[in-house]
Chain A
């Protein structure tokens, strides 16, 4: 648990906003990810939480090398992944795999399960020589808790939870070191969600995988993660161990987010101090100056509009928090029983 397998340095991803049909003019940028840094250690799970539009899925795409970063870098074992090409890139792709959110659209309906899971072997024949592929696929099906005899079925013959297992089997096919999970359980029912989470945990223990686990459900993230990063409008506002974030959050946004999580215990109904945020998340095209959360923050002062608070350890916070006035606050943590 010491080696950094993935290092993200000041990562920026902007998308141009254009106007005009023939003569395209760039009129602005959607600042989807705007200066994010973190490390991922081998065998660790880093949870990334935030609301829609905070840039967590863009982050996943950049980590997967599906998008080139506008600035900054993603280092896999010290190598900048954006600079790789050819064989180097292909070797990298084996090591980082993705599990997507929607098990209904992420599987090609015309391919059988065997083809879907076996497809990675076409590109990386060194992992499984041609003759052994079907057996490999059957092994993988068994591993994720599906019946190996269903290898010739099509995705529509499976339920949502089973399809998500197919997606996981496909991600595992090349024996990667890192799996980026982008909302892997949010499309699933509660009872099925728990099954898939158990599976992810089992596979991590078995293969020593590292996960970047992106989700908006704070209790799911808490259950699986060793460390948690909270994002707001393209920035990381707080990062720390699962305990630090959930028990001693110091950024006002994290505090508001945690207090808004409904707790499945009716007896806590009346003694819960919920922090009510007003308004909506500002547009990522023109985020507020200084601290991006200041427009919805109850602590905001003049300094918040002038200076961007750095993600660092400061007085009143034992872990990095991007708030000028970071401090602990008593809240009822999510799902304490």
Chain B
């Protein structure tokens, strides 16, 4: 499904071109202006998601995956956050240039988001049902009783047992898994075209995680939503993603089809990540790690940001920032030696 993707990256800046894509992030740049200096959190991120497709954005803490999502949703704290360049296009229109009122209309109906920590994302002083019904009343102008009916339907759709009785429960009366279901119900209430799920199962136990990922997949297929799944979990990604964008220090370092990426990563960072998962056939051996630490975003090393940790680094890596270029069909890598990585056996 993705043979033309990313080729735009090299042509980043050919902005405003209508393309029929659902949601496109184009050369986005975000910095945090703090007392101690400017942290360059996002340094030219480009990705897109189409209807019915799951894009996984994979990265470790501080890679900028959540900040990208917050910028798309317009919930980034500004200041200290500041969008210093790029576009976020929804149906071809740059939402970063829209008025607050226009953006509000897109939020919930166009693009919705679910968060990692359901306990702090839900309001503790209102019942779960009220918080879902609120959207129907405010955005759809429904009456109190109609909104309640719709909210119960939504709770039912996310398979909360005894939805009617649960309507008037407060968030703390729900278990972690149920709260996450309630949050999914809330985000899907206005039938969005794109859903951004920011680490939706990270706080949950594995058996509950499996339930929630199943539910998300099911709802996505039913509604043909575009899903952006933000996660650091390589296992979850392998289970559900169509395409993967790997982020490091505010950049996309690799983008590929899920099968290609796991079979043959085209960036040493991706390779390092895959290698550091404990594997059965290497038990008792030392894990192959990525040495060192992610860079300080106030002081990103010159050249490729991964070069101080990279086992393949050459002098050129310290001088030139490798652009995200296409390597093979439907995949791209931001490494000077991507070709070698892909062509090795």
Interface residues of A (CB under 8 A from B): 51-52, 159-162, 189-195, 197-198, 201-202, 216, 218-220, 222-223, 242, 246, 256-257, 260-269, 274, 276-277, 280, 333-337
Q: Interface digits, B171-187 against A, CB 8 Å rule (1 contact, 0 not)? A: 00001111000000000
Q: Is A189's CB under 8 angstroms from B277's CB?
A: no
Q: Interface digits, B134-164 against A, CB 8 Å rule (1 contact, 0 not)? A: 0000000000000000000000000000000
Q: Is A263's CB under 8 angstroms from B278's CB?
A: no
Choice from B207, B283, B291, B293 contacting A257 with Cβ under 8 Å: B207
Choice from A161, A216, A219, A337 contacting B281 with Cβ under 8 Å: A337
Interface residues of B (CB under 8 A from A): 60-61, 175-178, 205-211, 213-214, 232-239, 241, 258-259, 262-263, 272-274, 276-281, 283, 286-291, 293
CB neighbours (8 Å) of B287 from chain A are 194, 197-198, 223
- For the complex, what is the distance from the CA of A28 to the CA of B277, rounded to whole Å? 43
Most chain B CB neighbours (cut-off 10 Å) among A161, A266, A269: A266
CB neighbours (8 Å) of A161 from chain B are 293
CB distance from A154 to the nearest CB of B (A): 16
Q: Is A190's CB under 8 angstroms from B259's CB?
A: no
Evaluate whether A219 and B278 lie within 8 angstroms (CB atoms) in the complex, with A52-B205, A262-B236, A264-B235 already known.
Answer: yes
Q: Is A269's CB under 8 angstroms from B238's CB?
A: yes
Q: Which residue of A lies closest to B205 (CB)?
A: A51
CB neighbours (8 Å) of A280 from chain B are 175, 177-178, 208
- For the complex, what is the distance from the CA of A268 to the CA of B239, rounded to whole Å? 8
Choice from B232, B276, B283 contacting A194 with Cβ under 8 Å: B276
- For the complex, what is the distance from the CA of A268 to the CA of B60, rounded to whole Å? 24
Most chain A CB neighbours (cut-off 10 Å) among B178, B280, B290: B280
CB distance from B173 to the nearest CB of A (A): 12
Q: Is A335's CB under 8 angstroms from B280's CB?
A: yes
- For the complex, what is the distance from the CA of A140 to the CA of B264, rounded to whole Å? 39
Q: Is A220's CB under 8 angstroms from B238's CB?
A: no
- For the complex, what is the distance from the CA of A267 to the CA of B260, rounded to whole Å? 10
Evaluate whether A222 and B178 lie within 8 angstroms (CB atoms) in the complex, with A256-B207, A262-B238, A264-B235 already known.
Answer: no
CB neighbours (8 Å) of B286 from chain A are 198, 201-202
3 residue pairs, one from A and one from B, having the closest CB atoms: A262-B235, A223-B278, A194-B276
CB distance from A71 to the nearest CB of B (A): 28
Q: Is A216's CB under 8 angstroms from B272's CB?
A: no
CB distance from B182 to the nearest CB of A (A): 14
Q: Is A263's CB under 8 angstroms from B235's CB?
A: yes
Choice from A193, A194, A266 contacting B262 with Cβ under 8 Å: A266
CB neighbours (8 Å) of A334 from chain B are 280
- For the complex, what is the distance from the CA of A156 to the CA of B291, rounded to whole Å? 21
- For the complex, what is the distance from the CA of A256 to the CA of B210, rounded to whole Å? 10
Q: Is B262's CB under 8 angstroms from A265's CB?
A: yes
- For the complex, what is the distance from the CA of A220 to the CA of B23, rounded to whole Å? 37
Q: Is A264's CB under 8 angstroms from B60's CB?
A: no
Choice from B178, B235, B239, B289 contacting A191 with Cβ under 8 Å: B289
- For the complex, what is the distance from the CA of A197 to the CA of B287, rounded to whole Å? 8
9 A-B pairs (CB sep. < 8 Å): A194-B288, A202-B286, A262-B235, A266-B241, A266-B258, A276-B211, A280-B177, A280-B178, A336-B280
Q: Is B207's CB under 8 angstroms from A260's CB?
A: yes
Q: Is B210's CB under 8 angstroms from A260's CB?
A: yes
Choice from B206, B276, B291 contacting A216 with Cβ under 8 Å: B206
Q: Is A193's CB under 8 angstroms from B279's CB?
A: no
CB neighbours (8 Å) of B234 from chain A are 190, 264
CB neighbours (8 Å) of B235 from chain A are 261-264
Q: Is A191's CB under 8 angstroms from B280's CB?
A: no
- For the complex, what is the distance from the CA of A193 to the CA of B206, rounded to whole Å? 18
Q: Which residue of B lies closest to A54 (CB)?
A: B205
CB neighbours (8 Å) of A218 from chain B are 206
Q: Is B262's CB under 8 angstroms from A197's CB?
A: no
Q: Is B276's CB under 8 angstroms from A190's CB?
A: yes
- For the complex, what is the distance from the CA of A282 to the CA of B204, rounded to whole Å? 16
Q: Which residue of A lies closest to B210 (CB)?
A: A260
CB distance from A215 to the nearest CB of B (A): 11
Evaluate whether A277 and B207 lie within 8 angstroms (CB atoms) in the complex, with A189-B60, A262-B235, A263-B235 already known.
Answer: yes
Evaluate whether A198 and B175 lie within 8 angstroms (CB atoms) in the complex, with A52-B205, A189-B61, A263-B238 already known.
Answer: no
CB neighbours (8 Å) of B241 from chain A are 266
Q: Which residue of B lies closest to A162 (CB)?
A: B293
Q: Is A219's CB under 8 angstroms from B277's CB?
A: yes
CB distance from A164 to the nearest CB of B (A): 12
Q: Is A159's CB under 8 angstroms from B293's CB?
A: yes
Most chain B CB neighbours (cut-off 10 Å) among A198, A201, A264: A264
Choice from B237, B259, B279, B288 contacting A335 with Cβ under 8 Å: B279
Evaluate whether A267 and B239 lie within 8 angstroms (CB atoms) in the complex, with A189-B60, A194-B289, A260-B210 already known.
Answer: no
- For the complex, what is the distance from the CA of A270 to the CA of B317, rounded to whole Å? 40
Most chain A CB neighbours (cut-off 10 Å) among B176, B178, B277: B277
